[in-house]
């Protein structure tokens, strides 16, 4: 188990040493050093080559570094790792990220056990080996050889480095923000459980997303997840749910993927929300920027009939209720909407309704005590005088930040500005009604679990 203060040094180091720093663009050590350029703490380049690396003075070894080192990032051949790690321990380094591959994943279990032992002996937090690195956007620390992650409230932990890389590139493109990132690799040191304990306390983290292939100590993992879920939501994408997937997981990380139904039940008990895909995981994780709904009653507010029906279907399939509205609410909606609008639920303002009508509906729905959440579904008002971002603006101006609000803008490029407006204001926006409904379902599922486990003292 990793020492919490060592994990603090992992994510908030005052100084970082890159062992295997390089001037060569094709080397991982080059990328890592370059990525640390924005970090405000001290960065030391350790390399046997002469001269500077990326403007930094170089040192032939960790021992030669004049100041203290909190975090060491090792990108050197596997046979050299244990020696350098021991040197780190002796120097008082508190945390190490071992990028290097060539350990248990390559049949070298003995070499990996040595790393575990060294980390324990020197009380160091150890991430890896065989990882793409870690990042903490709170202090612009990017100790990976990937892109600069976007800042946000999601902490993401991944057992697969390549999947972590894919997610990093994807989220930068889609403007989804992370608080912390860690690629756990072979987990010779820090486990999911250790990091969940740490992230439960992390103020920058609103929700936690996990990609899991298999956990060794299931009991410890579930205990940590359960404790963490009482603080903030944990969402997990667990692969190996099929026979073929299980076989592949065993061959990939040597993980025991285990019986999927058992994982499913255990996850539910621990409050872990299970994702089906990477998008699903991110969709749900980003929903938690919202006030959580007190119950499962959703009002769907749309400017288009068809998409409203799809949203109603999706909400019901996610266990939410699209209840008919109170007579009072319907009356109020009738007062502000055009004649052929529908004031049942979904509320279909029809395409002709613009800023005033949409904002008025929002105000009315927020007053109804029977409604827990609002799902706004907007199709580009192409055949009216209404601007493409009018509805987004109406939402922003009328939303009082009390009830849950989740949005869906459906028409590709022309709704980019609306989506941007939502993001800037911390409102989750999705490209389809089904994805929006699913995210809302996750908020509801979590809220229910949370209340059950806080209201009773049986846990």
Does a cis peptide bond (omega within 30 degrees of 0) precede residue 346? yes
Shorter beta-carbon distance to its own copies: residue 85 or 237: 237
* Distance in Å, CB of 386 to its own copies, minimum: 10
Shorter beta-carbon distance to its own copies: residue 385 or 402: 385
* Distance in Å, CB of 298 to its own copies, minimum: 9
Shorter beta-carbon distance to its own copies: residue 21 or 119: 21
CA dist., res. 388 & res. 371, Å (int)? 27
Planar angle of CA 172, 173, 174, nearest 5 degrees: 90
* Distance in Å, CB of 76 to its own copies, minimum: 14
Q: What are phi and psi of 411, to 5 degrees?
A: -115, 40
Q: Which of 261, 211, 219, 216 is nearest to 241 (CA)?
A: 261
Query: How big is the chain by its Cα radius of gyration, in Å?
Result: 25
DSSP state of 297: B
Shorter beta-carbon distance to its own copies: residue 7 or 421: 421
DSSP state of 186: T
Shorter beta-carbon distance to its own copies: residue 31 or 368: 31
Shorter beta-carbon distance to its own copies: residue 89 or 240: 240
* Distance in Å, CB of 346 to its own copies, minimum: 5
Asked if 154 and 179 touch (Cβ cutoff 8 Å), the reply is yes
CA dist., res. 147 & res. 133, Å (int)? 11
Shorter beta-carbon distance to its own copies: residue 15 or 186: 186
User: What is the token pair recorded at 117?
Assistant: 């032992």
- Helix (H) / strand (E) element for 118: namely helix 109-121
Q: Find the farthest-apart pair of alpha carbons in the chain and give their distance in angstroms, rounded.
A: 79
Q: Which of 152, 156, 186, 159 is nearest to 168 (CA)?
A: 156
């Amino acid at each position: 188990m990793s020492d919490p203060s060592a994990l603090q040094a992992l994510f908030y180091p005052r100084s970082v040493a890159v062992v295997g720093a390089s001037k060569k663009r094709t080397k991982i050590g080059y990328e890592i050093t370059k990525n640390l350029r924005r970090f405000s703490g001290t960065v030391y380049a350790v390399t046997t080559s002469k001269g500077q690396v990326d403007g930094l003075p170089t040192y032939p070894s960790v021992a030669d570094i004049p100041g203290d080192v909190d975090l060491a990032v090792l990108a050197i051949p596997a046979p050299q790792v244990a020696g350098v790690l021991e040197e780190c321990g002796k120097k008082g380094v508190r945390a190490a990220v071992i990028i290097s591959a060539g350990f248990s994943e390559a049949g070298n279990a003995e070499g990996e056990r040595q790393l575990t032992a060294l980390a324990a002996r020197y009380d160091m937090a150890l991430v890896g080996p065989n990882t793409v690195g870690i990042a903490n956007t709170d202090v612009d620390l990017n100790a990976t050889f990937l892109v600069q992650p976007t800042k946000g409230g999601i902490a993401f932990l991944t057992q697969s480095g390549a999947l972590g890389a894919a997610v990093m590139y994807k989220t930068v493109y889609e403007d989804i923000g992370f608080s912390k990132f860690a690629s756990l690799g072979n987990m010779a040191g820090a486990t999911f459980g250790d990091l969940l304990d740490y992230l439960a306390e992390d103020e920058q983290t609103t929700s936690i997303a996990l990609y899991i292939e298999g956990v060794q100590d299931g009991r410890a993992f579930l205990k940590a997840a359960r404790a963490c879920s009482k603080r903030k939501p944990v969402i997990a994408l667990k692969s190996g749910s099929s026979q073929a997937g299980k076989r592949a997981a065993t061959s990939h990380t040597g993980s025991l993927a285990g019986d999927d139904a058992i994982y499913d039940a255990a996850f539910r008990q621990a409050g872990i929300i299970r994702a089906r895909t990477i998008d699903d995981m991110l969709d749900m994780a980003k929903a938690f920027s919202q006030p959580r709904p007190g119950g499962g009653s959703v009002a769907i507010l749309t400017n288009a009939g068809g998409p409203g029906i799809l949203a109603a279907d999706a909400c019901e399939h996610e266990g939410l209720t699209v209840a008919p509205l109170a007579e009072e609410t319907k009356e109020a909606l009738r007062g502000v909407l055009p004649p052929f609008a529908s004031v049942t639920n979904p509320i279909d303002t029809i395409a002709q309704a613009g800023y005033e009508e949409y904002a008025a509906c929002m105000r009315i729905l927020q007053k109804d005590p029977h409604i827990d959440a609002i799902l706004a579904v907007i199709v580009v008002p192409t055949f009216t005088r209404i601007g493409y971002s009018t509805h987004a603006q109406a939402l922003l101006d009328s939303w009082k930040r009390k009830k849950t609000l989740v949005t869906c803008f459906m028409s590709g490029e022309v709704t980019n500005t609306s989506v941007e407006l939502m993001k800037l204001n911390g409102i989750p926006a999705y490209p389809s009604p089904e994805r929006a409904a699913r995210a809302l379902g996750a908020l509801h599922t979590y809220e229910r679990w949370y209340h059950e486990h806080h209201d009773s003292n049986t846990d």
